[in-house]
Amino acid sequence: MKHLAATIALGPFFFLQGHYVRHVTPVLPEPPGARDGTHGHGPPLRLLIVGDSAAAGVGAASQDEGLCGQLVASLAPHFRVSWKLIAKTGATTNDTLRLLGSAAPESYDVVVSSLGVNDLTSGYPRCAWLRQQADLIRLLQGKFDARLMLLSGLPPMHLFPALPQPLRWYMGEGARHFNRGLHRLVLANDNCHVFSVEVSRRMDELQAESFATDGFHPGPVFYTAWAEHLAEQIVKRWRADAL
């Protein structure tokens, strides 16, 4: 309710702040490195990572330091991981649906997604975004035979250094609003879980070191914590499913 009231009362001001942020924030490239491969030892695990610039590792110097590389490294002691990354800077959920729709069908044991920030910042309604998330889940289960899906919730945007106040607060409330809907969406799906990217350590203690130089994307420290927590969930849930 507070978020809606703020939208009505301060919408033009938020628009101006958003325009300013886009103008002054440096554009970081997607890091170089492999986007598919096989690594590790143990039982086979087929892993797909999909999504936006965070999934693509923006803010890291290489894919090895980004989400994908660090997640594979964290899983490698437990599994022989065959992995693929399908991610693009600026991608919305609808963009990702189109990318996956044109991709060749493959089977994956685990799918990790990172989506929602671009939908939120572009003013996309939550109800429409949730319908597209439901479409994404059906596509992953159907075309890609996904057996376990971990949907990364929107990050703690109320802590993004690049966002001035009160836009930072407003985006943070919007992210929480999207995440609450995403949690409700997956309640009836035992193979699909929402994973919070707010890592266990207090984000205010990590803030200076966890974000990239643009103040908007994760840095290697954030990616490390995010990947380690995802790996813990995958090891626990995948082994439980296999029993």
Q: Are strands 80-87 and 36-40 parallel, antiparallel or unpaired?
A: antiparallel
> Can you give the pLDDT at residue 201?
46
Q: Where is pLDDT greater, at 41 or 21?
A: 41
Q: Is 113 buried (19+), middle (13-18) or exposed (0-12) by CB count in 10 A? A: buried
Long-range contacts of 8-16 (CB under 8 A, 24+ apart): 10/166, 10/170, 14/166, 14/167, 14/170
> Can you give the pLDDT at residue 65?
96
pLDDT band at 6 (very low <50, low <70, confident <90, very high): low
Residue 194 pairs in a beta bridge with: 151
Is-contact 170 3, C-beta < 8 A? yes
Q: At 168, give phi and psi (nearest 5°).
A: -60, -45
Determine the average pLDDT of the residues in 47-69.
Answer: 97
Residue with tokens 């266990």: 200
pLDDT by residue (tens digit) across 202-218?
444 555 568 888 888 99
Nearest Cα neighbor of 199 from 155, 151, 139 is 155
- Count Cβ atoms below 10 Å from residue 129 Cβ, excluding itself: 21
> Can you give the pLDDT at residue 13?
61
Which residues have a Cβ under 8 Å from the Cβ of 43 and sit 6 or more positions away? 79, 80, 242
Is-contact 227 70, C-beta < 8 A? yes
Q: At what angle do helices 220-242 and 67-75 cross, to 10 degrees?
A: 40
C-alpha torsion 166→172→173→178, nearest 10: 150
pLDDT by residue (tens digit) across 94-142?
999 999 999 999 999 999 999 999 999 999 999 999 999 999 999 999 9
pLDDT band at 240 (very low <50, low <70, confident <90, very high): low
pTM equals: 0.89
Q: What is the Cα 53 distance to its own chain's centre?
A: 8
pLDDT band at 11 (very low <50, low <70, confident <90, very high): low
